[in-house]
Chain A
Amino acid sequence: AQSVTQLDSQVPVFEEAPVELRCNYSSSVSVYLFWYVQYPNQGLQLLLKYLSGSTLVESINGFEAEFNKSQTSFHLRKPSVHISDTAEYFCAVTDQGGSEKLVFGKGTKLTVNP
């Protein structure tokens, strides 16, 4: 079985500052990894994913995440955040063997202050 730990429940930052949201996972098999974003009172939207290939994956709005197999991590980063990035971010993992279930972390609430 897989598990996901998001190390920070809340991350406050100032606008235009860099940010890193940390995610560690545990699994005995190879995995797929995801970051989802949730704006207030909305569903989750896929932000980016690691399925295979390059360990550095990017989203269209400037976020990136790096899959580090040795450290079992998939941290999310952005070099300069905007007010509109204020949201809750969820890391998720599923095994490549097709268990059909996603396991989510408990979320990190990012607040970008002016």
Chain B
Amino acid sequence: DGGITQSPKYLFRKEGQNVTLSCEQNLNHDAMYWYRQDPGQGLRLIYYSQIVNDFQKGDIAEGYSVSREKKESFPLTVTSAQKNPTAFYLCASQDSSHGKNIQYFGAGTRLSVL
């Protein structure tokens, strides 16, 4: 069953704590993305990676970090420097074959602050 798996579905963070959101894909896509969704603001790009061991900052990277050690995995860490982390986080991978540029999304992780 191919797709993108995000875990956990719900996550709670205490003040001063770092938390890591998992994203795994078995679609064999090179590119992966992390977005933050807040009500009425659409999706904002946090980080993206076009290939293993390489990633770039998106529009709102401050307070977040990522790694891309394997093609299948692109975990996002929300650090204590992110002062307003409550949001819905979406991971995506991109099928760039034949110039399609189609992104496929996971089911999301909802992060709240305790």
Contacts and interface: CB of A to CB of B under 8 A. Distances in A.
Is chain B found bound to chain A in the same assembly? yes
Interface of A: 9, 32, 34, 36, 41-46, 49, 51, 90, 94, 96, 98, 100-102, 104-107
Given A44-B105, A100-B31, A90 B42 contact: yes
A30 to B, nearest CB: 11
Contact of B108 (A9, A41, A90, A98): A41
B96 interface: yes
A22 B107 CA distance: 26
A51 B99 CA distance: 9
Interface string B1-14: 00010100000000
Interface residues of B, number: 27
Given A44-B92, A94-B101, A98-B99, 15 more contacts: A34-B102, A36-B105, A43-B90, A43-B105, A43-B106, A49-B102, A51-B99, A51-B100, A100-B48, A100-B96, A101-B48, A101-B58, A102-B33, A104-B42, A104-B43
24 contacts: A36-B105, A41-B108, A42-B107, A43-B105, A43-B108, A44-B90, A44-B105, A45-B105, A46-B102, A46-B104, A49-B102, A51-B99, A51-B100, A90-B42, A96-B99, A98-B96, A100-B31, A100-B48, A100-B50, A104-B42, A105-B42, A106-B40, A107-B40, A107-B42
Contact of A101 (B45, B99, B102, B104): B45
Contacts of A46: 102-104
Chain A residues touching B, majority SS: loop
Contacts of A43: 4, 6, 90, 105-108
Nearest to A96: B99
A51 B4 CA distance: 23
Interface string B47-64: 010100000001000000
Contacts of B110: 41
A51 B96 CA distance: 12
